[in-house]
Structure 1
Amino acid sequence: MFVRSIKGVDVAFKAESLQPIGAFKIRGAWHRLTALSEEAARRGVVAFSSGNHAQGVAWAARRLGIGATIVMPRDAPRAKREATLAMGAEVVDYDRASESREQIAARLAEARGATLVPSFDDPWIIEGQGTAALEAARQMIALGLGEPVHAVVPCGGGGLAAGTALALKEARITVVEPEGWDDMRRSLEASWIEPVAPNPPPTACDSLQTPLVSPLTFDVLSRRDATGVAVSEAEVRDAQRWAAEKLRLVVEPGGAVGLAALLAGKVTPEPGMFVILSGGNVDVSAYARAVAS
């Protein structure tokens, strides 16, 4: 955990970008796969992801001797695809604009008798992701910052945010998404699930491009009165540069949205706040352009 002053307030940063796969997704994947029966483990698992959940499942599967198939969009960052393949997983491509990854994965799992491991719409996954918040709370107390009162969390499907909400029952939760992909923010404000609007804008935050949040994560966050904000692509790049300069961390666009919200003044820093930097898996050339712009 890192602590830095933003606008005169000490804010804690939980650097999940330093995980073995470079993202928090290792937590939920390990929690889910270690819960499989011997028979289910023999039949393997199927997951769908643009990269971080893919790597989490591939990492856990390799160490547990479980076969893993990952449905990934053709435009997934090359670094994430190559890392997933390097850990022994099979990758099945799909077109993000015209095909449903959920349907493809479900058909594969049924045909093979494998276990489907969603990236966020699963109680085991949510529970596993929540360990990041539990660790953050212990680290803040050890650093003399007290119990966390406000968690700022990147949000795609909402698994990490929902896990945080369940782990820290007294803390306020703010989810952060890229502009045009802020369906959780709009859903929380409307009190019902709102999908991403047609023809959403392009975003560098590939890990947060979820067109529809799940009833499971939405229910957890709405019951906890979570709130949400959206950040622009320019604000995300500013956050990536700040993380490189002030924390000496490489943070991917989707992992930097919480920090972006603070730096842009969309979330006000306060004592007892921590921000999750959820991942650091970047395309090197794209990252170089972001921090140089």
Structure 2
Amino acid sequence: MSVAPPVSFDDVREAAVRLDGIARRTPVLTSRTLNALAGAEVFIKCENFQRVGAFKFRGAYNAVAQLPSEQLAKGVAAYSSGNHAQAIALAARELGTTSVILMPADVPRSKMEATAGYGAEVVTYDRYTQDRTALGEALAAERGLALIPPYDHPDVIAGQGTAALELLGETGELDTLLVPVGGGGLIAGSAVTAKALHPGIRVVGVEPEAGDDTKRSLEGGERVTVPVPRTIADGQAVPTPGEITFSINQRLVDAVALVSDREIVDAMRFAFERLKIVLEPSGATGLAALMNGRLDTPPRRIGIIASGGNINAQRFAQLING
């Protein structure tokens, strides 16, 4: 007896309807300079222009919008290093409810301030000594809130898949889709979408070298935990893939490439100088992988999801200037 997958392509298409007129349809950029560098046609899906500055709004809104009215009246909770925090806070505000967000104490100040600015109550914790999942579950239970995790949730994954749905709807068939990987929600939703539309497409994840938990897990056939990653790509500083996301990615993701922090910064600089866009470190990892030849199969047409641009001017300048 076959078991239905946790997220289907129909779920992604229903999420797209739910998000229509709420989430932004972000632009897809091309660059002759980048094409020449890569030896391929390159299409960049700019989720740095999404509401809250990252793809996370898609999944957050899709999940919160499906809560029953009785739960919406009580409120929602989440734990996040920043982008999911802002996304849940904004989704809750849009849907007329309240939010409480658990964030690492060392998260970039701009992300914490933005989360509070959307109306959330922010509670901090130490990401290196405390378990955010356990803290989040306890907080939600104590206050009667619906806990919406940043990636390991079918409605969140389906919402994230709408970025790939838009990209492929605009570009047509691609050889390869490059997607940043943290907990795996974006690439899981993207893989469900891409493989449904174009079964022959290669879906390749990109992780920072310091946080290669998904690569190790896919190679080992089971979820692997690494030390909490110390990388500039704070949105990808996840020690273990999600349970639901891994079950999807194990079936549909073809490979995972690794990039160094230095390569990420070089990609951020290229995006700023040549593409005229600002990317946060996590948002630039796909571009970094392409620029540094991390693909084992040279593509002719490649899509990259630039997942976010939430970085303040001071931090951006600090990284670019070394």
TM-score interval, normalised by the smaller of the two chains:
over 0.9
Partner residue of 2:90? 59
Alignment CA distance shift 1:250-1:215 (3 Å): same
2:276 alignment partner AA: R
Partner AA of 2:203 in structure 1: I
Q: Could you tell me how far apart the structure 2 residues matched to 1:164 and 1:277 are?
A: 13
CA offsets, 1:92-117, max 9 Å, x none?
Answer: 00001111111111001111111110
Count the aligned residue pairs. 286
Which among 285, 289, 301 is matched to residue 257 of structure 1? 285
Match of residue 149 from structure 2: 118
Match of residue 192 from structure 1 = 222
For structure 2, list consecutive stretches of 5 or more residues without a partner in the other structure.
1-27
Deviations 1:155-198 (A, max 9, x none): 000000000011111221111111120100111111111111x3
Kindly tell me: are residues 201 and 103 of structure 1, through their superposed partners in 2, closer, same or farther at Cα, counting changes over 3 Å? closer
Partner of 1:203: 231
> 1:292 offset after TM fit, Å?
2.9
- Residues 45 and 306 of structure 2 are in contact (CA less than 8 Å); yes or no, is this contact kept in structure 1? yes
Query: Could you tell me how far 1:3 is from its partner in structure 2?
Result: 1.3
TM-score of the superposition, structure 1-length normalised?
0.95
Normalising by structure 2, report the TM-score: 0.86
Moved more, 121-130 or 207-216: 207-216
In the alignment, is the contact (CA less than 8 A) between 2:191 and 2:253 conserved in 1?
no
Counterparts of 1:60-99 in structure 2, within 5 Å, are: 60-99=91-130
Query: Does the residue aligned with 1:91 lie in a helix, a strand or coil?
Result: strand
Q: C-alpha separation between the residues in 1 aligned to 2:133 and 2:158? A: 21
Q: Which amino acid aligns with 1:33?
A: V
For 1:26 and 1:226, locate their aligned partners in 2 and report how far apart those are by CA, in whole Å.
26
The equivalent residue for 2:8 is none
Alpha-carbon contact 2:40-2:302 (below 8 Å) kept: no
Identity score, percent: 44
**SS at 1:130 equivalent:** helix
The list of structure 1 runs, each at least 4 consecutive aligned residues, that deviate by more than 3 angstroms after superposition, is none
Quote the RMSD (CA, aligned, Å): 1.2
**CA distance in structure 2 between the aligned counterparts of 1:282 and 1:272, rounded to whole angstroms:** 29
What secondary structure does 2:51 align onto?
coil
Q: CA deviation at 1:15?
A: 0.4
The answer (yes or no) to whether the contact 2:40–2:301 under 8 Å persists in 1 is no
Q: After superposition, where does 1:151-190 map in structure 2 within 5 Å?
A: 151-169=177-195, 170=199, 171-190=201-220
Within 1, Cα distance between the matches of 2:112 and 2:311?
Answer: 11
Q: Quick check: 1:231–1:260 contact (8 Å CA) kept in 2?
A: yes
- Could you tell me which amino acid in structure 2 is paired with residue 272 of structure 1? R
Q: Distance in 2 between matches of 1:15 and 1:232?
A: 22
Cα displacement (A) at 1:271: 2.2
Higher-helix-fraction structure: 2
**CA deviation after TM superposition for structure 1 residue 217, in Å:** 0.8
Q: Tell me the amino acid that sits aligned with residue 2 of structure 1.
A: L
The answer on whether the counterparts of 2:204 and 2:253 sit within 8 Å (CA) in structure 1 is: no
Q: Decide whether the 8 Å contact of 1:188 with 1:226 is kept in 2.
A: no
Contiguous gaps of at least 5 residues in structure 1: 142-146
Deviation at 1:230, TM superposition (A): 1.1
* Aligned-pair CA distance for 1:283: 3.0
